[in-house]
Amino acid sequence: MQRFKLTIEYDGRPFFGWQKQDNGPTVQAALEAACRCFAPDEDITVTGSGRTDARVHALGQVAHINLEREMTIDALQGALNYHLRPNPVSVLKVEAVDDDFHARFSATKRHYTYRIRNRRAPLTFERGLVWQVTRPLDAEAMHEAAQVLVGTHDFTTFRHTACQAKSPVKTIDYLTVEREGDEIRLHAGARSFLHHQIRSITGTLKLVGEGTWTKDDVQASLEAKARTALGLNAPPDGLYFRAVEYGDIAPKA
């Protein structure tokens, strides 16, 4: 049996998230269905580095599978992408890895980006791919306020009430906000995040950008350690799972 690491991108709009469920299509289910097409005698589970919610996208989600049949890396990537059609899911890279590699538990850092399109004109090509905010936003004020949240904190305020994490304490390694034209991007990196943490942070920083909240309000919201103190939860549309790091664990030659 051989273990393979998959790097995957997907458009989250048609999906009910990453994880398999009975309510509708998911990315994990689409990948496992593709595996059954070329390995019908194997019960292949696709294990992801983390879950994404309905309508959340990925540029570099990572997963692993165990495969009994002999296949080259190129053949496996081609078979997966062929059988994934017409789903908006693409396997960007396939690597052979040791059996101790685990897409979720071996990860040392996860990176997310949230995209805001800050303009009054309606969206055309990017509907469902960004969060449109029509009121002018001050990206510099958003960035300054974001630094309150960098480091180790109790993020109860920025955690969904259904979050299953054992502790609300997380360490955010970096949190930046930048503007390019009418697009504002929030970038965040941490070993792991709470359910809705990035969306809750983005929504709250949007209030700072439009002048409704200040940096001190963000600090007070964090210190309240209560979901009721949250400013706003951003929609899933603009959230992208950008990349995963695995420290010193390297692919097999």
Instruction: Name 2's Cβ contacts closer than 8 Å, sequence gap at least 6.
Output: 66, 67, 68, 70, 96
Q: What distance in Å separates the CA atoms of residue 237 and residue 247, rounded to the nearest whole number?
A: 30
β-strand pairing of 239-245 with 109-117 = antiparallel
**Residues 131, 238: Cα–Cα separation, whole Å:** 5
Query: Who has greater pLDDT, 251 or 75?
Result: 75
Give the mean model confidence (pLDDT) for residues 27-52. 96
Q: What's the Cα-to-Cα distance from 236 to each of 128, 185, 233, 252, rounded to whole Å? A: 9, 14, 9, 36
Nearest-Å Rg of the Cα atoms of the chain is 19
Residue 249, domain member (yes or no): no
- Reply yes or no on whether 43 is catalytic: no
For the stretch 85-106, pLDDT in tens is 999 999 999 999 999 999 999 9
End residue of a domain, out of 69, 84, 106:
106
Per-residue pLDDT of 163-222, as tens digits, reads: 888 999 999 999 999 999 999 999 999 999 999 999 999 999 999 999 999 999 999 999
Instruction: Read off the CATH number of the domain in which 95 is found.
Output: 3.30.70.580
Average pLDDT estimate for 139-156: 98
Q: Which of 53, 154, 182, 217 is catalytic?
A: 53
* Mean pLDDT, range 65-93, rounded to an integer: 97
Residue 250, in any domain of the structure: no
Average pLDDT, the chain: 95
Domain that includes residue 223, residue range: 109-243
Residue 77, pLDDT > 70, answer yes
Q: Are residues 70 and 139 in the same domain?
A: no
- Tell whether 52 and 141 lie within a shared domain: no
Residue 87 and residue 113 share a domain:
no
Return the CATH number at 115.
Answer: 3.30.70.660
CA distance 130 to 123: 9
